[in-house]
Amino acid sequence: MVTDANIRKSGVTHHLEEILAQAGIICTVYDKTTPNPTTDLVEAAREVYLLENCQAIIGFGGGSSIDCAKAVGARIARPRKSLAKMKGILRVMRNLPLLIAIPTTAGTGSETTLAAVITDSHTRHKYPINDFPLIPAYAVLDPEVTRGLPPFVTATTGLDALTHAVEAYIGNSTTEDTRHDALTAVKLIFGNLKRAYDNGNDMEARRNMLQAAYFAGSAFTKSYVGYVHAIAHSLGGRYNTPHGLANAVLLPHVLRAYGKTAWKKLHILGMAAGVSTPHDTHQAGAEKFIRAIEGLMEQMQIPRTIRGIRGRDIPMLAKYAAKEANPLYPVPKLMTAKQLEKFYWMIKEAHK
Ligand SMILES: NC(=O)c1ccc[n+]([C@@H]2O[C@H](COP(=O)([O-])OP(=O)(O)OC[C@H]3O[C@@H](n4cnc5c(N)ncnc54)[C@H](O)[C@@H]3O)[C@@H](O)[C@H]2O)c1
Ligand SMILES: [Fe+2]
């Protein structure tokens, strides 16, 4: 079982550990995962797997634990190939050991996606590995394990799920199914995220948020994400910025920058969210949707800037983001690394 110390301490893994013991299944726990999991952590967990002769992997936690579990599986399947060599798409190409995901945040959708996002311990470059064998064989959506998720993490991870749905929907590579999943996710998030934030014990809202994160994951695993994610990954790698927070702060800026190429789709998303009407022009409907996202962020006290971004890092981070997105992400409008730099300046907290 791959998890993190916080989650283990909170007791949510206890029940499963007990059931496994009763069934005579030996479960070794690796609980040293951290947010933005690194290549070194994956190697440490892999050593435990080999030492204990494990035969299956359970990722129990947020996206960080599930991604760490996936990356361990990839390294078991590919003992001679480094994670760096698996970066990008279709570079694992071997079956992993049985992989089960139990998300404790309603955010990443990693329990259904083909991605694992890993940070290089030495360069701090954060990159996605995308391949079909990384899709877990089973996903367990149990709202009980998200009950204790603190309000701020509930908010930011929920905004990560929203970003998946929006980026998948407005991209140029959608299908009827991914559009449907994205719209369902947006509807559920606007109906339930604030409720889960206000009252973590609202199990209906928690259940709906887990569903939303899953649908959003299903949408983006086939239709990809966009510049919000590419930029957020560069910040998570360099500064350890929490993934959902980075996405949330960037989302309104990037959506506005897409301009009229995205208006029609954002208008439709606005109607799914219940904030735009069919009578709006596409431009007005899109703007209402973006404002509704900003309103939701404000109600949940998500800041508008990110601490710690250094001006001198920006050209390199923008290069990472441009490279991650082009040609992989079917964004509505292509931007160069130079053009992406402005987003870092927009969200950079001014020095006090
Ligand atoms: N594989 C994918 O498809 C995919 C998609 C999006 C993001 N990601 C990646 O996932 C990572 C982010 O995952 P995340 O947003 O779920 O956060 P996380 O796993 O990093 O967890 C955030 C914090 O919340 C705590 N936490 C988690 N569940 C809890 C619970 N039930 N109760 C109390 N505390 C809890 C954790 O201990 C941690 O401190 C990033 O590295 C991101 O790049 C992956
Ligand atoms: Fe994400």
The answer to whether 94 and 82 have CB atoms below 8 angstroms apart is no
CATH number at residue 51: 3.40.50.1970
Tell me, yes or no, whether 352 lies in a domain: no
Flag whether 66 is in a domain.
yes
- State how many domains the chain has: 2
31 lines ligand 1 (CB under 6 A): no
Question: What is the domain range of residue 103?
Answer: 5-140
The CATH number linked to 207 is: 1.20.1090.10
Q: Is the CB of 13 under 6 A from ligand 1?
A: no
Ligand 1 pocket residue status of 36, Cβ below 6 Å: yes
User: pLDDT 10s digit of each residue in the chain, 352 long?
Assistant: 999 999 999 999 999 999 999 999 999 999 999 999 999 999 999 999 999 999 999 999 999 999 999 999 999 999 999 999 999 999 999 999 999 999 999 999 999 999 999 999 999 999 999 999 999 999 999 999 999 999 999 999 999 999 999 999 999 999 999 999 999 999 999 999 999 999 999 999 999 999 999 999 999 999 999 999 999 999 999 999 999 999 999 999 999 999 999 999 999 999 999 999 999 999 999 999 999 999 999 999 999 999 999 999 999 999 999 999 999 999 999 999 999 999 999 999 986 5
The domain boundary, picked from 71, 105, 140, lies at: 140
Residue 68: CB within 6 Å of ligand 1?
no
Whether residues 126 and 15 share a domain: the answer is yes
pTM over 0.85: yes
Separation of 108 CA from ligand 1 center, angstroms?
Answer: 7
Indicate if 190 and 271 belong to the same structural domain.
Answer: yes
Question: What is residue 350's predicted lDDT score, i.e. its pLDDT?
Answer: 82
Residue 161 Cα to ligand 2 midpoint, Å, equals: 7
The reported pLDDT for the residue numbered 351 is 66
Ligand nearest the Cα atom of residue 118: 1
173 and 72 together in one domain: no
If you measure from the C-alpha of residue 53 to the centroid of ligand 2, how many angstroms do you get, rounded to a whole number? Answer: 32
Q: Is the CB of 194 under 6 A from ligand 1?
A: no
Which ligand has an atom closest to residue 168 CA? 2
Pair (49, 120) in one structural domain: yes
Task: Say which ligand is closest to the CA of 245.
Answer: 1
C-alpha 271 to ligand 2 mean position (Å):
23
34 CA from centroid of ligand 1 (Å)? 9
